[in-house]
Structure 1
Amino acid sequence: MRYGLLLLLTVCTVNVQATETMQLRTTQSPPYQFLVNGELSGVSVDILRCVMGRLDWPYDIHLLPWARAVEDLRQQASDGIFTATPEPALDRLATMSAPFALEKWHWYHRSEGIFQPQGKTLGVIRSSNAASWLKRQGLNAAVEVNSMQQLIYLLQRGRIDAFLGDELVVQEQLHSMKLPATEFRAEFSHYMPLGIYFSHDFLGRHPQFLAQFNHQLKRCAPAALQLSDTEQQRIRQQLQDTLQPQLPSSRLLPALQAENKRLGVLTVAAKMALDKQWVGETQLGSGPLLERVEQQPISAWLRELQQQSEGLIREIYITGAQGINLAQSLPTSDIDQSDEEAYQQLVVQQQPLWIGPIEYDESARSFQIKVAWPVPEQGPRQGMVVLGLDAEHALRRSQ
């Protein structure tokens, strides 16, 4: 929701290294930012306070209606606006940070079967992120209201067929209305990153700021892109039912055992030398090490599996017992995976399965989940299989 009265909050820091106080704009949108007894609070506010404290950078926040907040950014009356989703109109004015959090947008409806929004009477909160997204998708919202509470009432009374909303926001509103979380059918639509847009003018004056801000975000919001327990269970079920049977250990073991025997025991220095050679060859696009991996019969098989997945699988690679790539569908950034969490969990700690957090690709504005399991699944580990899955595709398929 985007509405609110003007509020000025000044955050003072000590030992300030910044040359100016950053001017920010936001609007009320529980649970990300909202007023409590005149104080601005919420998930995004707490994360912002943490990051700016680590950077030792003072800032002021004005709470405004969204349209006025955007106009301030356009007129260079502010340095940033939050919490925002990626939006072409804002891209022309500012650059978005790495995500503070990840909204999980669902269609809320009462219809049977898979929901299709085309031809339905849709409701939307006026000037909201969802309104902008629907417009970009060519979907017209017939009913515009000012709050999530109004949307829920309209859906209850059958005045609209559905609305699109963030899971946390809808759940919080249902709770405040004393309605069960199961009041409506909820069907996953897509993820939407929430971040802060910093104006091009501000970043031009402080060219190092965005990289430093994003670096501190990893410390202040470590759980921002974690899968929920329900999502992890959905991914785990899809692995067991569909993906792992396509890559049976019986087909991988002979090649892995032969490769492990060929490599012998590698020292740390030897692994570093392989990585250096690998990076050089991948940059050139050719070389004996790269060609050895690319020309493995298993690599050709992996490329075929990725192509047949219809967008679900973004990459597959298989490593030996020491973490060195045996085969891959696409070149990885390095050949030694022994320092990765998947290897540490599966090969070192002997866990049966690893599911990583959601990874956000800023350039593609898309989401990936890495999953991995050992080969063989029982007994001494000869290596592991790692898949990069399109997060939205995977969760939609698992519904």
Structure 2
Amino acid sequence: MMKQLFCILALLFFMGVKVEAVELYTEDFPPYNYITNGELVGIGPEIVRALAKDVGEDPKMTVLPWVRAYKYASEKKNTGIFSIVRTPKREPDFQWVGPLYAVRVGLYTKSENKHLYSGDREENLIQARKVGSVAIQLGGAGEELLTTLKFQNLNPILNVSKSLFLLLKGRYDILETSDVFMAYMAKEEGVLMSAVSEIAVIGEYDMYLAFSKSTSLETVEKWRNALEKYKKKTNINNPS
């Protein structure tokens, strides 16, 4: 029996059949996934590396602008993307592994303008629909989320690392982002969180690792099983 198995493995080797390594894409979006001292760090890479270890892989992780990362991860075989919000529009593009963790998303304005948003959530959303510009990440989930809420004044931005700076400079009226990102960028810019005001909560959203549709189901199931083990090991359902 062992001799037969050896012969099969040898035949596959000489035929050039091999298991293709998975390549994963992400973006520079602190503090979830970002580069520091030449290393990709953050809660996203931390969880994904733990899963990869269980799967027995050492995937290449490439940091790209979000739109390009999304395109590659959705079109190429044996590729994935993290950390990504699972939305109805994105659902058919990927095979989903998650949730990995959750984020709280809201709308922010300069504190000097917070008097314009003194009502409840719905009243503030009505007011926010009237302003000149609401900044969202180019290709991000914010466009889908806010379009669903009837926003027509969205301004996609490419460089999210400058988003707080530009908000405070008055480049746009409102910024859609997470509370954790806002706190991180306030520290990076050397400003107090009191410089901005959250005017409305959009919601809390689960973040996923997602594989292209052309990636084998067997590969995806390995990562799903690894996540289940990770959750049991860490005794959490949605790390944050």
CA distance, structure 1, for counterparts of residue 156 and residue 215 of structure 2: 34
> Deviation at 1:124?
2.1
SS of the residue 2:108 aligns to? strand
> Deviation at 1:22?
1.4
SS of the residue 1:160 aligns to? coil
207 and 156 in structure 1: CA distance in 2 versus 1, 3 angstrom threshold: closer
Q: State which of 134, 158, 170 in structure 2 corresponds to 1:146.
A: 158
**C-alpha contact 2:107 2:176 (8 A) present in aligned 1:** yes
Q: State which of 131, 148, 165 in structure 2 corresponds to 1:120.
A: 131
Moved over 6 A (4+): none
Residue 93 (structure 1) aligns with: 93
CA distance, structure 2, for counterparts of residue 26 and residue 148 of structure 1: 14
Range with greater deviation from structure 2 (166-175 or 23-32): 23-32
CA distance, structure 2, for counterparts of residue 73 and residue 30 of structure 1: 20
Residue 180 (structure 1) aligns with: 192
Q: Note the 1:219-258 alignment, pairs <5 A.
A: 219=232, 222=235, 225=238
CA distance, structure 1, for counterparts of residue 100 and residue 91 of structure 2: 17
CA-to-aligned-CA distance 1:99-149 (integer Å, 9 cap, x gap): 211111111122341322322231223223323422343312443333345
173 and 55 in structure 1: CA distance in 2 versus 1, 3 angstrom threshold: same
76 and 125 in structure 1: CA distance in 2 versus 1, 3 angstrom threshold: closer
In structure 2, give the amino acid aligned to 1:156: L
Are 2:229 and 1:216 equivalent residues in the alignment?
Answer: yes
Provide the identity percentage: 16
CA-to-aligned-CA distance 1:181-201 (integer Å, 9 cap, x gap): 122221322001111112232
CA distance, structure 2, for counterparts of residue 148 and residue 73 of structure 1: 20
SS of the residue 1:182 aligns to? helix
> Deviation at 1:223?
5.1
| Unmatched tracts of structure 1, length 5 or more | 1-17, 228-399
CA distance, structure 2, for counterparts of residue 223 and residue 161 of structure 1: 37
Residue 383 (structure 1) aligns with: none
SS of the residue 2:98 aligns to? coil
| Unmatched tracts of structure 2, length 5 or more | 1-17
CA distance, structure 1, for counterparts of residue 192 and residue 204 of structure 2: 23
SS of the residue 1:102 aligns to? strand
62 and 221 in structure 1: CA distance in 2 versus 1, 3 angstrom threshold: farther
**C-alpha contact 1:72 1:78 (8 A) present in aligned 2:** no
In structure 1, give the amino acid aligned to 2:204: Y
Are 2:33 and 1:33 equivalent residues in the alignment?
Answer: yes
**C-alpha contact 1:20 1:58 (8 A) present in aligned 2:** no
CA-to-aligned-CA distance 1:238-276 (integer Å, 9 cap, x gap): xxxxxxxxxxxxxxxxxxxxxxxxxxxxxxxxxxxxxxx
Choose 1 or 2 for highest CA Rg: 1
> Deviation at 1:19?
4.2
**C-alpha contact 1:24 1:80 (8 A) present in aligned 2:** yes
220 and 27 in structure 1: CA distance in 2 versus 1, 3 angstrom threshold: farther
CA distance, structure 1, for counterparts of residue 188 and residue 221 of structure 2: 42
CA distance, structure 2, for counterparts of residue 124 and residue 75 of structure 1: 24
Give the aligned CA root-mean-square deviation in angstroms. Answer: 2.6
> Deviation at 1:167?
0.7
**C-alpha contact 2:28 2:63 (8 A) present in aligned 1:** yes
> Deviation at 1:96?
1.7
> Deviation at 1:210?
4.5
In structure 2, give the amino acid aligned to 1:35: I
Residue 241 (structure 1) aligns with: none
User: Which structure's relative contact order is higher, taking Cα pairs within 8 Å and 6+ residues apart?
Assistant: 2
TM-score of the superposed pair, with normalisation by structure 1: 0.47
TM-score of the superposed pair, with normalisation by structure 2: 0.75
CA-to-aligned-CA distance 1:338-392 (integer Å, 9 cap, x gap): xxxxxxxxxxxxxxxxxxxxxxxxxxxxxxxxxxxxxxxxxxxxxxxxxxxxxxx
> Deviation at 1:204?
2.7
SS of the residue 1:74 aligns to? helix
SS of the residue 2:194 aligns to? coil
**C-alpha contact 2:98 2:224 (8 A) present in aligned 1:** no
In structure 2, give the amino acid aligned to 1:39: E
> Deviation at 1:30?
0.7
CA distance, structure 2, for counterparts of residue 92 and residue 81 of structure 1: 14
Residue 191 (structure 1) aligns with: 204
CA distance, structure 1, for counterparts of residue 194 and residue 131 of structure 2: 21
In structure 2, give the amino acid aligned to 1:202: T
217 and 139 in structure 1: CA distance in 2 versus 1, 3 angstrom threshold: farther
148 and 207 in structure 1: CA distance in 2 versus 1, 3 angstrom threshold: closer
**C-alpha contact 1:107 1:189 (8 A) present in aligned 2:** yes
CA distance, structure 1, for counterparts of residue 176 and residue 103 of structure 2: 12
CA-to-aligned-CA distance 1:193-229 (integer Å, 9 cap, x gap): 11111223224343632441331341466556368xx
CA-to-aligned-CA distance 1:257-299 (integer Å, 9 cap, x gap): xxxxxxxxxxxxxxxxxxxxxxxxxxxxxxxxxxxxxxxxxxx
